[in-house]
Amino acid sequence: MSSELGTALITGASTGIGSIYADRLARRGYDLILIARQKDKLDALAERLTRETGRTVKVLPADLSKATELAKVETLLKKEASITLLVNNAGIASTAKLVDADVDRMSDIINVNTNALTRLTYAAVPGFVLRDRGTVINIASIVAVYPEILNGVYAASKAFVLAFTQSLQNELKDTAVKAQVVLPGATSTDMWELAGTPIAYLPAEIVMTANAMVDAALTGLDLGEAVTIPALPDAEDWQAFENARLALHPNLSKSEPASRYLPDVAA
C-alpha cells in the first residue's frame, strides 16, 4: 500500500545525516528511495526500516559525481510521480587550507555539492509544481555565511546551496511547493574524518549529534522555516541578518558609481 504522504528520495542516504532523515521520514509515514554509492549499506538500512516501519523502501546505488549515474536519479525524479519530497543531502567536504588543497578534490566538491544538487532539483521541481505538491530540502552548512572557518571551496559550494534555495523559494512562493535550506554547524558524522579532521579534534561544545540535527531541521520544516539553523537560539538573529542584506538592495545597482568612487575634481 502506497503512502498518503508519498515517497521521499534522499541522497547520501547510507550513513550519517542521510540515514537519519531516512529513519525519521519513514516513521512519519513516507515511502523511501535511498541513493548513495554503497549498496551494502543501503540494503541494510532499507531492510531495517522496512521491518521497523512497514514502509516501502527502495534503493538505487549511484555515485552522483558521475554523469551517467546522476542521470539515472534525474530520470527517476522526472518519471516517478509518487515522489513528493527530495532531500539533497549528498556532499563532499574538506578542512584543508584552500591553497594547500588538491584541486581535483576541489572539483569533486563543486561537482557533487552544486552540480548534482542543481540537476536533481531541476528534475524534481517541475513535476512538483505540475502536481501542486512537493518539498525540497537542501542541506547546506553554516559555512555558507561564515566561510572563513573551513575550506573555501567547500564553503563556497554551500553558499551556492543557500543562494540557490533562496532564489527557488522566491520563484515558488505562489505555488504549493516548498523549499527549505538547512545550515548545520559541526555535526557528529564520518564526514569530518573523510574531510581531513577527525571529530575528536573539535571542541565538544560545538558538535551536535546527527540525530539532534535532523530532528531540529524537521521541526524547522514543520514550522514553515525557509532557512533552518539547528544551533541558532533566536530566529530573529537570522531575520536581522536577512533584513540587513535586503536593505542593500536599493543601492546595489545604479546608473552612476557611488560618490566615493568619483574623481575629486577639487584636487
Residue 246 is assigned to a structural domain of this protein: yes
Judged against a pLDDT cut of 70, whether residue 130 lies above it is answered with yes
pTM of the shown model: 0.93
Say which residues have a Cβ less than 8 Å from residue 160's Cβ, sequence separation at least 6: 113, 114
Cβ–Cβ under 8 Å, residues 180 and 134: no
> What's the half-sphere exposure (Cβ side, CA atoms, 13 Å) at 26?
25
- Measured CA to CA, the distance from residue 103 to residue 172 in angstroms comes to 36
Looking at this protein, which amino acid is placed at residue 19? Answer: S
Active site residues: 154
Domain at 237, CATH number: 3.40.50.720
Residue 63 is assigned to a structural domain of this protein: yes
Judged against a pLDDT cut of 90, whether residue 257 lies above it is answered with yes
Residue 103 is assigned to a structural domain of this protein: yes
What pLDDT was estimated at residue 93? Answer: 83
Residue 1 is assigned to a structural domain of this protein: no
- Measured CA to CA, the distance from residue 236 to residue 67 in angstroms comes to 41
What pLDDT was estimated at residue 97? Answer: 84
Residue 169 is assigned to a structural domain of this protein: yes
Residue 2 is assigned to a structural domain of this protein: no
Q: Tell me the pLDDT band of 179, cut-offs 50, 70 and 90.
A: very high
Cell of 114: 552544486
Q: What percent of the chain has pLDDT over 90?
A: 82
Residue 51 is assigned to a structural domain of this protein: yes
Name the more confident of 104 and 201: 104
Cβ–Cβ under 8 Å, residues 12 and 21: no
pLDDT digits (tens, 9 = 90+) for 76-119: 999 999 999 999 999 998 877 888 888 999 999 999 999 999 99
Q: Tell me the pLDDT band of 193, cut-offs 50, 70 and 90.
A: low
pLDDT digits (tens, 9 = 90+) for 206-246: 789 999 999 999 999 999 999 999 999 999 999 999 999 99
Q: Which residues pair with 140 in a beta bridge?
A: none
Residue 54 is assigned to a structural domain of this protein: yes
Number of independent structural domains in the chain: 1
What range defines the domain where residue 29 resides? Answer: 7-261
Instruction: Write the DSSP assignment of the chain as a string of letters.
Output: ---TT-EEEEES-SSHHHHHHHHHHHHHT-EEEEEES-HHHHHHHHHHHHHHH---EEEEE--TTSHHHHHHHHHHHHH-TTEEEEEE-------S-GGGS-HHHHHHHHIIIIIIHHHHHHHHHHHHHHHT--EEEEE--GGGT-GGGS-HHHHHHHHHHHHHHHHHHHHTTTSS-EEEEE---SEESTHHHHHTS-GGGS-GGGPEEHHHHHHHHHHHHHTT-SEE-TT-S-HHHHHHHHHHHHHTGGGSS-SS--GGGS--TT-
Cell of 103: 584541486
